[in-house]
């Protein structure tokens, strides 16, 4: 059983690399961004509320996201552990999480802002399975089609340059303080994610295994 959090700025590669680590450890990856987008797509009450914050590059209110996450990690598929991608994103969310469950390791991914912006603007995501591609770095075999499930690839609404700018500001203001919050609690590692996916995946997996086994 292992429970991890992946922290990092929008577009740094949390989704890409947490998917690979979750696969290697045989655990589920939970992205609050994916859960919120599913609600937006399904037109639920939560989705309708969340959409206005997401489209503006802000954060969805803590009480809504905490309830969503609490429900998700109570599901049977979390029995062997999980990786949280995009949660917590504020100190109140981190404090709420510590009252719900214990976390074994926090992994902070870092890269310069120009790398992050390049990654975000070229991203394509599968509508069906949320697999992540990049138009220059990680191309699907057939343009516009997911290699894994054959689903259609799309670009997210929040990839527009003006929304990206706002998301990066929101990250600095609300989420970056979590680095010191978790550093002070002990089980924390930081990994630089510059480089191609294979190199970075190796670096991330080695750092995690060293910390968990050391």
Residue 123 among the catalytic residues:
yes
Q: What tokens were used for 61?
A: 């209110």
SS3 of residue 81 by DSSP: strand
d(CA 40, CA 61): 15
Structure tokens at 199: 């190199």
Q: What are the tokens at 4?
A: 């991890």
Contact string 144-183 vs ligand AP5 (x = CB under 6 A): --------------x--------x----------------
3-state secondary structure at position 214:
coil
Whether residue 203 lies in the annotated active site: no
Does position 138 bind ligand AP5 by CB under 6 A? yes
167 is catalytic: yes
Say how far apart CA 7 and CA 9 lie, in whole Å. 7
Is residue 81 a contact point for ligand AP5 (CB under 6 A)?
no
Enumerate the active-site residues. Answer: 14, 89, 123, 156, 167
Footprint of ligand AP5 on this chain (CB under 6 A)? Answer: 8, 10-16, 31-33, 36, 53-54, 58-60, 65, 86-87, 89, 93, 119-120, 122-123, 132-134, 137-138, 158, 167, 193, 195-197, 200
């Amino acid at each position: 059983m292992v429970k991890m959090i992946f922290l990092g700025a929008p577009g740094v590669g949390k989704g890409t690399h947490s998917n690979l680590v979750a696969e290697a450890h045989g655990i589920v990856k939970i992205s609050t961004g994916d859960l919120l987008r599913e609600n937006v797509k399904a037109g639920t009450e939560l989705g309708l509320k969340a959409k206005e914050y997401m489209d503006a590059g802000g954060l969805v209110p803590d009480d809504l996201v905490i309830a969503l996450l609490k429900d998700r990690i109570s599901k049977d598929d979390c029995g062997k552990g999980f990786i949280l991608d995009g949660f917590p994103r504020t100190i109140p969310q981190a404090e709420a999480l510590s009252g719900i469950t214990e976390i074994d390791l926090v992994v902070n991914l870092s890269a310069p802002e120009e790398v992050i912006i390049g990654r975000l603007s070229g991203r394509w995501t599968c509508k069906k399975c949320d697999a992540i591609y990049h138009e220059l770095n990680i191309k699907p075999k057939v343009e516009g089609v997911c290699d894994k499930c054959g689903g259609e690839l799309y670009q997210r609404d929040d990839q527009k340059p003006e929304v990206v700018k706002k998301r990066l500001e929101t990250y600095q203001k609300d989420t970056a303080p979590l680095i010191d919050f978790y550093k002070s609690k002990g089980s924390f590692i930081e990994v630089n994610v510059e480089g191609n996916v294979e190199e970075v995946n190796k670096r991330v997996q080695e750092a995690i295994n060293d910390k968990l086994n050391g």
